[in-house]
């Protein structure tokens, strides 16, 4: 069983690294967290954001897709995936993801 305070610290450091645009460090810390904790949607989401900032749409798509698979109740994950699909010209998939996000949080329809 991993030390939860150490794991929490690793994840917080990963977010701090992301905010500081230290993307290689963000990836490294996320990988440590995944190794210690196993698959966690928020970690994959952060990896997706990192890949997006690094202009790697394929990797961002993979990570956001994994986030939605692990936690299908979070509209943020679906909206992020919709953005990637839209950027890649996958219109039908983008619409489906936006619909999932709106179904989970109707206030998104107003945005």
pLDDT tens for the 111 residues of the chain, in order: 456 677 788 889 999 999 999 999 999 999 999 998 889 999 999 999 999 999 999 999 999 999 999 999 999 999 999 999 999 999 999 999 999 999 999 988 765
Hey, CA dihedral for 99, 103, 105, 108, is it positive or negative?
A: positive
- Scored b (16 or more CB within 10 A) or e, 24-35 reads ebbbebbebbee
pTM: 0.90
- Greatest alpha-carbon span in the chain: 43
């Amino acid at each position: 069983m991993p030390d939860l305070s150490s794991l929490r610290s690793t994840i917080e450091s990963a977010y701090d690294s992301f905010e500081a645009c230290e993307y290689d460090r963000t990836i490294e810390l996320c990988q440590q967290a995944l190794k210690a904790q196993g698959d966690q949607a928020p970690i994959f989401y952060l990896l997706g954001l990192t890949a997006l900032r690094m202009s790697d749409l394929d990797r961002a798509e993979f990570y956001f897709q994994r986030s939605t698979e692990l936690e299908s109740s979070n509209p943020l994950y679906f909206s992020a995936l919709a953005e990637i699909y839209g950027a890649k010209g996958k219109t039908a998939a983008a619409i489906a993801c936006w619909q999932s996000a709106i179904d989970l949080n109707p206030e998104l329809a107003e945005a």
